[in-house]
Structure 1
Amino acid sequence: MRSVLAACLLLGLAHTARAEAPLTLRFVAPERYTDAQSRTGSGPTLRTTIGGLERIFRDLAGRTLHPGQSLTVDVLDVDLAGTDLPGAGPTAPRLVTDVTPPRLRLRYALRERGRVVLAAEETVTDINFLLRARPGGSSSLAYERDILAAWFGARIARREPPRG
């Protein structure tokens, strides 16, 4: 009797855990990303970048998704803002100019109560990213956070379909 009760309790907890996970995030072939890690030894590792992006996605999903909604995102490519400074050391900042915007290629599906309400594949970027950059941003992925916050607002909160 106790084992049956325990099994039912575990099944209930597993179902609850799945129901409370509104974001499914996958990094597809990250070793092939355009620019997600330092290739010169000065800057973030691939693991650091993926960890930072995952925190950004989870934070924004937690703020944006409503009960009954779920979001699946496949990150297909990452091109961080700026470029590495060769030989500058592992904690060196990236050289960021208006011609080096961040770009993330995403495939996603927004569901409400299990029904897909918006799905697409698009490149998230903003050539004017420096115009809205916050001075003194301390995060190494501050520009990527900004463009993803705008994307979450447009696609997920307001359900605006991608252009094109």
Structure 2
Amino acid sequence: MNKKLTRTLFAGMVLLATSAAWADTQVQYDKPDQFTDLPFDQSQRDSVLKDLTAHFEQLGKKLPAGQNLQINITDIDLAGREDPRLRGISDIRVMNGRVDWPRIRLHYVLEQNGKVISSADSSLSDMSYLSRINRYSSGDRLRYEKLMIDDWFTNTFGIDAQAKR
């Protein structure tokens, strides 16, 4: 029994030690109540922010070990527009491909072992969002924003956002 406990503790310590080398991503939202375009319903707004956070965190896992990414989102303008006349159980977004393309403004800081190696303000937008091939399913309400974020991640960090890791 003592030998089994020792092995378990050792395995836990190894896992803890290696987790410090993993890439870490933190996402913050600066005044989300003032963002250009998020759903009217508060629970849907929270869900959108949660989904975007999860997407950024998933991309952050592709960074090399020891790199940490901090993202501060300062504005979001989702693809399409909500039409208040069509509101029901869930809000309906109307997309016409004119001036309703997705946009996100953010500031990021990339650190390697505690030292800043890259930092910038970025304005993401995808004016051709309706005419591009999108790998995200039509059931994903943030498919256009995710594709735009993937493009930014690939162009900014030189890591293919669509590659498996």
TM over 0.5: yes
Equivalent of residue 24 in structure 2, options 22, 25, 29: 22
**Distance in 2, Cα, partners of 1:96 & 1:142:** 13
Partner of 1:148: 149
Query: How many pairs were matched up?
Result: 144
1:133 Cα offset (Å): 4.1
Quote the residue 1:162 is aligned against: none
Q: State the TM-score, normalizing by the size of structure 1.
A: 0.75
Change (3 A) 1:17 1:76: farther
Distance 2:26 2:56 in 1: 10
In the alignment, the residues of structure 2 paired with residue 18 and residue 78 of structure 1 have an alpha-carbon distance, to the nearest angstrom, of 32
* 1:18 CA drift (Å): 6.0
Cα shift at 1:34: 0.9
Is the Cα–Cα contact under 8 Å of residues 44 and 90 in structure 1 kept in the other structure?
no
- Cα offsets for 1:94-130 (capped at 9, x unmatched): 1112221111110001122322222111211111222
Does the Cα contact within 8 Å between 1:81 and 1:144 map onto a contact in 2?
A: yes
Question: SS state of the match for residue 85, structure 2?
Answer: coil
Give the Å deviation of 1:16: 6.9
C-alpha contact (below 8 Å) 1:82/1:94 kept by paired residues: yes
Q: Which amino acid aligns with 2:47?
A: T
Q: Which amino acid aligns with 2:46?
A: R
Q: Distance in 1 between matches of 2:23 and 2:155?
A: 22
Asked if 1:119 is matched to 2:119, the reply is: yes
Given that 1:73 and 1:108 are in contact with CA atoms closer than 8 Å, whether structure 2 keeps it comes out as yes
Matched, 1:68 2:69: no
Q: Would the aligned equivalents of 2:22 and 2:66 in 1 still touch at CA under 8 Å?
A: no
Q: Deviations over 1:10-50 (max 9, x none)?
A: 9xx6x876654611211111111111222xx5x97221111
Which AA in structure 1 matches 2:155?
A
Identity of aligned residues (%): 28
Q: Give the SS at the match of 1:87.
A: helix
Larger displacement relative to structure 2 (90-99 or 122-131): 90-99
SS at structure 1 position matched to 2:93: coil
Structure 1 match to 2:158: 157
CA distance in 2, matches of 1:44, 1:139: 17
Q: Deviations over 1:58-86 (max 9, x none)?
A: 11212x31112111100111111100021
Q: Secondary structure at the match of 1:70?
A: strand
